[in-house]
Amino acid sequence: MIVKCTGFEKNHAIKDILGESRTYENGVVRQNTMYIAEAILDNIMGYKTPFGSSYVEAVKLQLQAIRDAVKEDRALMLDGERVAMSDSLVSKAVDYMAADLTKNPERQLTAQKHVLERTLNYHRRFGPADFVAENKAEWLRLVQLFKDRNPSVPDPPYPFEGMIESLAQEWTNPSLPVGNLLSLQGDAEVYRNLASWLRRCLPPPSESSSSNAPN
């Protein structure tokens, strides 16, 4: 049974529904009963998960664990510390995820594949220059809304001009497991488009570094 809900207040009713006020860090309340809800963002480091600020993507990884357990006819078992259901913190969840991925190479590989597919899906929709163009268009629409209300205020300049080009070198970093150009070879079109963009952004490679240049 899946109960879906949304809201901006702490869910105290869940304690009565489940007969528990605490859950374990992996979301299992008791064997084969799981409670998944967005934790309280108590620390900006909550964005250091493999999924950044996307809670939906983090939940997908939890659902993958449930699917694997069902497929292998395993029970959902308790793991981690017990935490309060209505006061669970993002910082604790992030620490648990990091420890869990470190001790479970298979789950680490699953997470890496998940992040890679999400990265490819993003690039299938927008290349870096396309994303900045869309973002800038949204910025200019917002500026126009302010201008309509107060024409005397000077237009604020777009703050990210040139930023994506200044970060282009990161796509050539071979130490990144996900996100560099080499990791995106699974989609020939994404790889080709990004390589073409990098050639326009980056200075011509020296002879010593030509082996790492995008083809």
Calpha distance 14→171 (Å, rounded):
45
Amino acid at 74: R
Kindly indicate the confidence band of residue 1, based on its pLDDT and cuts at 50, 70 and 90: low
According to the model, what pLDDT value does residue 212 have?
53
Residues 103-114 have a mean pLDDT of: 86
Would the pLDDT of 208 be above 50?
A: no
Lowest mean pLDDT among 2-16, 22-36, 75-89, 201-215: 201-215
According to the model, what pLDDT value does residue 130 have?
92
The predicted-structure confidence for 125-169, as pLDDT tens digits, reads as follows 989 999 999 999 999 999 999 999 988 989 999 999 998 899 898
- 3 state SS of 80: coil
**What is the number of alpha carbons within 13 Å of residue 206 lying toward its C-beta?**
2
pTM: 0.69
94 is written with which tokens? 């992030």
- 3 state SS of 213: coil
Strand boundaries in the chain, DSSP class E = 22-24, 28-30, 33-34, 82-84
Q: Pick the residue with more confidence: 12 or 128?
A: 128
Radius of gyration from C-alpha coordinates of the chain: 22
Nearest in space to 177 (alpha carbons), one of 103, 111, 104 = 111
Calpha distance 185→126 (Å, rounded):
16
Would the pLDDT of 215 be above 70?
A: no
Would the pLDDT of 54 be above 80?
A: no
Calpha distance 179→190 (Å, rounded):
12
Q: Pick the residue with more confidence: 94 or 21?
A: 21
- 3 state SS of 24: strand
Question: Contact 164/197 with Cβ under 8 angstroms?
Answer: no
Taking CA 123 as the corner, what is the angle to CA 183 and CA 157, rounded to the nearest 5 degrees?
A: 120
| Those residues with Cβ within 8 angstroms of residue 154's Cβ, 6 or more apart along the chain or in another chain | none
According to the model, what pLDDT value does residue 5 have?
64
Q: What is the dihedral of CA 185, 188, 194, 198, to 10 degrees?
A: 70
Residues 13-36 have a mean pLDDT of: 88
